[in-house]
């Protein structure tokens, strides 16, 4: 497909929308982006491995495909949602605003092909974040919304009309039965957010867990902005304890396999090993000698040196294996480094 074709332009715009908040923040900070960017001077990164890319989107900017049997997934190449068709209506899992009205278009298309109802009767929230459920209000009031109890609390305080609070909540477990289909929702502790839920489709060999593991890609900036880093590091083990063949991660244009998740777990373990090695190797003395009473400058430069030491070999190992290893490995290493120091107390010393 040529770079100028409509679908590519649309999906490019959708991706741009997802990152629109970033320049505003950089401008406020008075950074380099205060001057308009020029494509000629922006840095180059390694090419994305073809295996990390999913199917092309259609003229409307979406792709819809079968996961297994009557379970389908929809993507705009940046975000993902899923839906189950049943004899009594459709159960939708997440409603990313970037896919927006294409969610119903995708459902209409599949329902027409299979002669089943196209009305969304239930909408399950993976977690409260606007980028995954900000299209919820498009489905009106005549739909049963289901989410973890903390999703309801967070959404009530965030008070965003685009994200109505769930009607049905659960604390640790909920079984959803619709039109002869069964879906198991579970909460196994905080990870990416306090409310992030495991969505298991026992009849479809599939697990949906959003913003933890993004198949064939490194995590988004700063380890997916995970609120609980140890919880997010532990989540893939919990995910692997479920029986599944297909994985829906909520991002990027492809599904995952168990082998993909094992590669991701090794990547995170390699970062942890690198951080522990770096903390025992990089000498903080010169940084504090140089910056004296400016302890922030000393800390910044010392931790940057730790990150560089720890992430360098990981970037080298995963280039060509995980997409964008050279883009975000350093910021994820910083997030994991701070968790190892602050949550685990590694390298912490009591003054004699």
Please compute, for residue 137, the number of CA atoms within 13 A of its CA located in the half-sphere on the CB side: 10
- Whichever of 94 and 211 has its CB closer to Zn ion, that residue is 211
- Whichever of 129 and 163 has its CB closer to Zn ion, that residue is 129
Q: Which positions from 71 to 110 touch Zn ion by CB under 5 A, shown as an x/- string?
A: ----------------------------------------
Location of structure tokens 């949906």: 208
Secondary structure class of 81 (helix, strand, coil): strand
- Whichever of 96 and 253 has its CB closer to Zn ion, that residue is 96
- Whichever of 129 and 152 has its CB closer to Zn ion, that residue is 129
129 sits near Zn ion (criterion: CB under 5 A): yes
Strands (DSSP E) contained in 76-234 are 80-86, 89-93, 120-124, 144-148, 168-170, 173-178, 181-186, 198-201, 206-208
Of 100-108, 115-123, 174-182, 204-212, which part binds Zn ion (CB under 5 A)? 204-212
Of 27-35, 170-178, 211-219, 284-292, which part binds Zn ion (CB under 5 A)? 211-219
By beta-carbon distance, which residue lies closest to Zn ion? 129
163 sits near Zn ion (criterion: CB under 5 A): no
Of 37-45, 158-166, 205-213, 321-329, which part binds Zn ion (CB under 5 A)? 205-213
Of 127-135, 180-188, 298-306, 320-328, which part binds Zn ion (CB under 5 A)? 127-135
- Whichever of 14 and 110 has its CB closer to Zn ion, that residue is 14
What are the tokens at 290? 């140089």
Of 2-10, 109-117, 123-131, 258-266, which part binds Zn ion (CB under 5 A)? 123-131
Please compute, for residue 322, the number of CA atoms within 13 A of its CA located in the half-sphere on the CB side: 28
- Residue 192 CB, shortest distance to Zn ion, in Å, is 6
Give the H/E segment covering residue 262: helix 258-281
- Whichever of 86 and 126 has its CB closer to Zn ion, that residue is 126
- Residue 211 CB, shortest distance to Zn ion, in Å, is 4
SS3 labels along 265-278 = HHHHHHHHHHHHHH
Give me the sheet containing 246-248, strands edge to edge. 173-178, 181-186, 198-201, 206-208, 246-248
Residue 111 near residue 117 (C-beta atoms within 8 A)? yes
Residue 196 near residue 126 (C-beta atoms within 8 A)? yes
- Whichever of 7 and 194 has its CB closer to Zn ion, that residue is 194
- Whichever of 223 and 302 has its CB closer to Zn ion, that residue is 223
DSSP code per residue over 300-342: HHHHHHHHHHHHHHHHHHHTTTSBTHHHHHHHHHHHHHHHHHH
> How far is 124 from 160, CA to CA, in rounded Å?
17
Query: Radius of gyration over alpha carbons of the chain, in Å?
Result: 22
Number of residues that bind Zn ion (CB under 5 A): 2
- Residue 146 CB, shortest distance to Zn ion, in Å, is 17
211 sits near Zn ion (criterion: CB under 5 A): yes
Of 156-164, 206-214, 265-273, 309-317, which part binds Zn ion (CB under 5 A)? 206-214
What are the tokens at 144? 């049963």
Footprint of Zn ion (CB under 5 A): 129, 211
């Amino acid at each position: 497909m040529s770079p100028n074709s409509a679908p590519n332009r649309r999906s490019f715009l959708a991706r741009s929308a997802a990152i629109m908040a970033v320049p505003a923040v950089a401008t406020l900070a008075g950074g380099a982006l205060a001057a308009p960017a020029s494509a000629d001077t922006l840095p180059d990164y390694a090419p994305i491995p073809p295996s990390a890319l999913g199917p092309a989107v259609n003229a409307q900017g979406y792709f819809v495909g079968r996961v297994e049997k009557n379970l389908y997934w929809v993507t705009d190449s940046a975000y993902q949602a899923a839906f189950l068709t049943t004899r009594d209506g459709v159960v939708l899992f997440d409603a990313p605003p970037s896919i927006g009205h294409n969610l119903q278009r995708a459902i209409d298309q599949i329902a027409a092909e299979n002669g089943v109802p196209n009305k969304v009767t239930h909408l399950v929230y993976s977690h409260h974040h606007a980028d995954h459920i900000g299209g919820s209000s498009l489905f009106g009031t005549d739909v049963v919304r289901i989410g973890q109890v903390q999703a309801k609390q967070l959404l009530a305080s965030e008070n965003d009309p685009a994200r109505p609070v769930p009607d049905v909540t659960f604390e640790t477990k909920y079984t959803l039965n619709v039109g002869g289909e069964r879906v198991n929702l579970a909460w196994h502790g905080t990870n990416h957010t306090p409310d992030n839920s495991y969505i298991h489709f026992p009849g479809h060999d599939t697990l949906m867990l959003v913003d933890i593991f993004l198949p064939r890609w490194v995590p988004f900036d700063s380890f997916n902005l995970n609120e609980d880093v140890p919880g997010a590091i532990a989540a893939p083990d919990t995910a692997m304890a479920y029986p599944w063949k297909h994985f829906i991660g909520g991002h990027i244009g492809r599904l995952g396999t168990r082998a993909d998740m094992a590669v991701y777990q090794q990547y995170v373990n390699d970062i942890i090993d690198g951080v522990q090695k770096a903390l025992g190797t990089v000498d903080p003395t010169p940084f504090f000698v140089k910056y004296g009473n400016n302890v922030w400058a000393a800390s910044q430069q010392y931790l940057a040196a730790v990150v560089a030491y720890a992430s360098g070999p990981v970037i080298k190992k995963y280039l060509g294996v995980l997409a964008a290893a050279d883009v975000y490995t350093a910021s994820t290493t910083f997030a994991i480094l701070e968790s190892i120091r602050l949550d685990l107390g590694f390298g912490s010393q009591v003054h004699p």
